[in-house]
Amino acid sequence: FQIKDVRSIVREALEKRLLQQEIRGPIFCFVGPPGTGKTSLGKSIAQALERKFVRISLAGMKDEAEIRGHPRTYVAAMPGRIIREIRRVGSINPVFMLDEVDKIGQDFRGDPASALLEVLDPEQNADFTDYYLDTPFDLSKIMFITTANIIDPIPDPLLDRMETLYFSGYTDQEKEKIAFRFIIPREIKENGLSLNPPKFTVEAVYKIIQEYTREAGLRGLEREIASVCRKIAREIVKHNKRFGEDIIVTPELVRKYLGPRKFYYEVAEAKDRVGVATGLVWTETGGDIIFVEATKMKGKMKLILTGSLGNVMQESAQAALSYVRSNADSFHIPADFFDHHDIHVHVPAGAIPKDGPSAGITIALALISLLTERPAKREVGMTGELTLSGRVLPVGGIKEKILAARRAGVKTVILPGKNKADVEDLSEDIRKGLEIILIDKIEDIVDLVLR
């Protein structure tokens, strides 16, 4: 599902390796939100190559000796995790998955990320030296795959040694197909319902997807379906129901078992307000929407920023305000307004850290809405970096942001014109029901966004 590009790149690399055995294969880095199939694809590659599969998690690893091993003079010395896992599976050429490479730690005991440079460098790993073995060991026959949710924390020298492949989130239609083909049969089997399996209706599965989960991947959906199956098994035992009776899982039964809905379509159910604009953002768990709020008060030209904003996002807000001030005449804002007022910009939720330049046009539209007293349309979502001259620069994570817009009930999505290629790569299922507008300058959308 939606990993054709990933599969083709992996296939090309493996076919090249088969044709010329002396060529060392690439080292892949699978990047994407949780639950999008990164580990599953690694297992499938090992199965297709008829190799052993090894997986270790690097999350929180802070000791360099976990990779290189301890010298034998140390008490309780042992080889590093790489050598230990090779010995455990009894194979010199397994598919080796290094999970959560973006969450490696660092302290006084060394830097594991630097130790990985030798492991993941095709030019060096043929002579990898573990301190415990104290002799070169050939790792070049191993196919290494790393996984990460985001690439920003990965050191550049380490990232340079890997070929990055991006995994995007799933649409509701894809989740429904995966649920019926894989998740539901597995949960029925694991909960002892195989003799007379409950029959899930399409409406019930969509209800779970849309009202009880909000994610790019599938883990939440899997948990909710497992919860329904457990409650069905409990009812069978509690009421001594016979296995001959058909059990149909309807939306009403889902509501009974899972309780009140957990997620609502914020945009579809909200009212337009002055000084509030809808933005689209990308996080390590997929796309999401934010509401940028702006208000004014008596003061002396001060800009207040709240909402756990990072340095880049704070600078985006300052650039947006400077753009609005420099173009005050075109927006019919009094020239002396800023001399007697403070501006406060807030991005809920305040406890969640936020950063990045892609909220630039959202902040600018919230400010223009506030100062012109024209409410912004909540069903219009936007993303893009703003310059002082009003140009809109391209941003990343377009597919995840559009999926988030669909989940939240956004009807119109505004994107930078230079992201046109990203939009053309999207399938019709993703774009269906959305009006996507590409812009190069922010003044092109002021009348479109504001009432």
What residues act catalytically?
A: 358, 401
- Angstrom distance (rounded) from CA 430 to CA 300: 46
Q: In the sheet where 95-99 sits, what is the strand order?
A: 53-57, 95-99, 143-148, 28-31, 163-166
CA gyration radius, the chain: 26
User: Hey, what are 295's tokens?
Assistant: 């208000």
DSSP state of 264: -
User: Hey, what are 124's tokens?
Assistant: 């060096």
Residue 50: Cβ within 10 Å count? 6
CA separation, residue 409 to residues 210, 217, 270, 298, 438 (Å): 11, 19, 10, 36, 19
Residue 85: Cβ within 10 Å count? 18
Q: CA angle 403-224-266, nearest 5°?
A: 40
Query: Cα torsion for 56, 59, 65, 66, to the nearest 10°?
Result: -20
For residues 216 and 168, the answer to whether their CB atoms sit within 8 Å is yes
User: Hey, what are 282's tokens?
Assistant: 């990308």
Closest-CA residue to 450 (of 382, 401, 384):
382
Continuous segment of H or E residues that includes residue 298: strand 286-298
Continuous segment of H or E residues that includes residue 311: helix 311-326
- Angstrom distance (rounded) from CA 402 to CA 381: 9
Closest-CA residue to 367 (of 293, 439, 258):
293
